[in-house]
Structure 1
Amino acid sequence: MAEYDLCAIVTGSASGLGAASARLLAADGARLVINYSSNRKDAEATAEACRNAGAAEVLVVQGDVSRDQDCNRIVAAAASWGKLDVLINNAGITKHVPHHTLEGLSADDFQQIYAVNTIGPYQMIRAARSLLEANVQACGVTAAVVNISSVAGINGDGSSLAYVASKGALNVMTLSLAKALAPAIRVNTVCPGYIDTSWYAKGCGEARAKEVRDAITEKAALKIVSSAMDIAHLVHFLASSASSHMTGECVRMDAGLHLVR
């Protein structure tokens, strides 16, 4: 990825897409902050996998990105590096509400989901801005922020209306931040479709998760479902110098499901 020490923070990286993205950065010899909100056991397992993959240094930091003070603490863990090349805003939550039933969501649900999915990335970028800008001074290379959104924020179809709205807001916020932070910091967003991880099963149960997986495999133009590592390769590209001429982009990756909706 680069000839200098790569420094990165990945929020919500105890499992799933965050963990897969961290492992790819580890293979570049990166210094990494692995962040988790409540699952320290999985975060430590991710950290060990990153060390085995070649990471130069791995720090595990607890923090809820909906809390501004936690965002500052997560970033402070990387302060001794003097710069930050990559920030991946992966932490996210939802509430599964079948068929977008309006009665299934309260104002508190909206506020909690927005706090993590939309305000969280904003607070992380604000907290990390000086370290990201220091990257240009230290290395002459533009820093990269990669926000993890969802196709739900494009097509309006997701686990709940609050989740859909939070990801749509994140997509638009990416455009504003890309303008505000250029030229020192690039800001792009990945919009995955269904990812075959335990996240959906935890919300809806194994049986429903299998139904969704089978249905998407049948409907998607490419007749496949994506793994966390499949999407992580796109995240890695947007974090790398290979995408150095890209900013303000929302890149969809859904195995062609949108072609047949």
Structure 2
Amino acid sequence: MTELAGKTALVTGSVQGIGLAIATELARAGARIAVHGIAGDLQVHEVCTALREAGSPQAEFFQGDLREPERIAELMAAVAAWGGADILVNNAGIQHTAPLAEMPGEKWDAILAVNLSAAFHLMQAAMPLMATRGYGRVINIASVHGLVASKDKAPYVAAKHGLIGLSKVAALEYANAGKTGLGGVTVNCICPGWTETAIIEPQIVARAALHGGDRDLGIAELLAEKQPTQRVSDPAEIGALARWLCAPIAHNVTGISIPIDGGWTAQ
């Protein structure tokens, strides 16, 4: 199926993990992909080639340091010159765990900048064009920590809670943009629980160290604390949901936050 043919998707942090899985699904649906992230030339080439092989008519890399509003503006200007983003996926994120009293101030600033403020700047630049075209999709990868808290993650939890609030405001402001046939403009959050990505690897390593370096036991301990299914999610599962949210049929799904968390937030 090519339900997104003719659409352009900017997916931040799309050189690996959840971002790459989402970009791959959107490519399979026929969208052009504006790739973004931190990667060397070889990885960029491999990712863009794989997305074209998956079905994207075009996949190109766009640079932009999400900690800096000026660099974000340059990123969006480059994407606008490429045709503008019909779909924006705010996926890029960073993490640092430490008790509140020990959290370095610079970590707070960086996590808030990348995980929350960048989404604001990107949405502010992209959404007026979406409204003009009558179709637009913003998908913010908010994490289960946008819905509940955990110890030692103050900046991450604060940013993800803020991202959900930001998404609700934008969803309301753009709710009547476009028409059913065009697909309208929607803003939604996906809230993954434990997912096989690089961002959780330091936590797995720390837990594994408590079990003599046994990685499987480290993962099991993490899941037992929070995720009732005791199964990790695959990034492709988040990609499949993102693709559905981008389809025109999802025109009335807006302002919501969908957990993929194995029952974590049902407790």
Question: What TM-score bracket applies, with the shorter chain setting the length?
Answer: 0.7 to 0.9
Cα deviation, 1:100-157, whole Å, max 9, x if unaligned, reads x123213222111111111000001112123322332xxxxx3110001111121112
- 1:16 shift after superposition: 0.4
- 1:170 shift after superposition: 0.7
SS at 2:62 equivalent: strand
Determine what percentage of the aligned residue pairs are the same residue.
28
**Cα distance between partner residues in 2 of 1:158 and 1:60:** 36
Q: Residue 145 of structure 1: which of 135, 138, 154 is its match? A: 138
- 1:54 shift after superposition: 1.0
**Cα distance between partner residues in 1 of 2:255 and 2:261:** 19
Match of 1:235 in 2: 242
Q: How many residues align?
A: 252
- 1:223 shift after superposition: 3.6
**Cα distance between partner residues in 1 of 2:222 and 2:157:** 19
Is the Cα–Cα contact under 8 Å of residues 11 and 91 in structure 2 kept in the other structure? yes
User: Structure 1 residues 102, 211: CA separation in 2 closer, same or farther (over 3 Å shift)?
Assistant: farther
Match of 2:181 in 1: none
- 1:231 shift after superposition: 1.5
**Cα distance between partner residues in 2 of 1:256 and 1:21:** 22
- 1:74 shift after superposition: 2.2
- 1:65 shift after superposition: 1.8
**Amino acid across the alignment from 2:142:** S
Q: Which moved more, 1:233-242 or 1:213-222?
A: 213-222
**Cα distance between partner residues in 1 of 2:132 and 2:38:** 27
**Amino acid across the alignment from 1:200:** I
Q: Residue 116 of structure 2: which of 115, 118, 121 is its match? A: 118
Aligned runs of 1:123-138 on 2, under 5 Å? Answer: 123-136=121-134
Q: Which moved more, 1:220-229 or 1:164-173?
A: 220-229
**Cα distance between partner residues in 2 of 1:89 and 1:40:** 22
- 1:233 shift after superposition: 1.3
Q: Which moved more, 1:72-81 or 1:161-170?
A: 72-81
SS at 1:22 equivalent: helix
**Cα RMSD for the two superposed structures:** 2.3
User: Structure 1 residues 103, 210: CA separation in 2 closer, same or farther (over 3 Å shift)?
Assistant: farther
Match of 1:139 in 2: none
**Amino acid across the alignment from 1:145:** V
**Cα distance between partner residues in 2 of 1:133 and 1:39:** 35
- Unpaired runs of 5+ in structure 1? 137-141
- 1:166 shift after superposition: 0.7
**Cα distance between partner residues in 2 of 1:176 and 1:21:** 24
**Amino acid across the alignment from 2:106:** D
**Cα distance between partner residues in 1 of 2:144 and 2:41:** 29
Match of 2:44 in 1: 43
Is the Cα–Cα contact under 8 Å of residues 110 and 162 in structure 1 kept in the other structure? yes
Is the Cα–Cα contact under 8 Å of residues 31 and 55 in structure 1 kept in the other structure? yes
**Amino acid across the alignment from 2:148:** N
Is the Cα–Cα contact under 8 Å of residues 10 and 33 in structure 1 kept in the other structure? yes
Aligned runs of 1:42-81 on 2, under 5 Å? Answer: 42-81=43-82
Aligned runs of 1:86-235 on 2, under 5 Å? Answer: 86-97=87-98, 101-136=99-134, 142-157=135-150, 160-184=153-177, 185-202=185-202, 205=205, 207=208, 210-218=216-224, 220-235=227-242
Structure 2 residue 38 is the aligned partner of structure 1 residue 30: no
User: Structure 1 residues 44, 69: CA separation in 2 closer, same or farther (over 3 Å shift)?
Assistant: farther
Is the Cα–Cα contact under 8 Å of residues 146 and 157 in structure 2 kept in the other structure? yes
Q: Which moved more, 1:36-45 or 1:249-258?
A: 36-45
- Unpaired runs of 5+ in structure 2? 178-184, 210-214
SS at 2:30 equivalent: coil
**Amino acid across the alignment from 1:255:** G
Q: TM-score, normalised by structure 1?
A: 0.87
- 1:210 shift after superposition: 4.1
Is the Cα–Cα contact under 8 Å of residues 196 and 226 in structure 1 kept in the other structure? yes
Q: TM-score, normalised by structure 2?
A: 0.85
User: Structure 1 residues 56, 112: CA separation in 2 closer, same or farther (over 3 Å shift)?
Assistant: same
- 1:38 shift after superposition: 4.9
- 1:96 shift after superposition: 2.0
Cα deviation, 1:202-259, whole Å, max 9, x if unaligned, reads 4663736644521355563334210111122122222222321111111111011333
Q: Residue 256 of structure 2: which of 249, 254, 260 is its match? A: 249
- 1:2 shift after superposition: 2.7
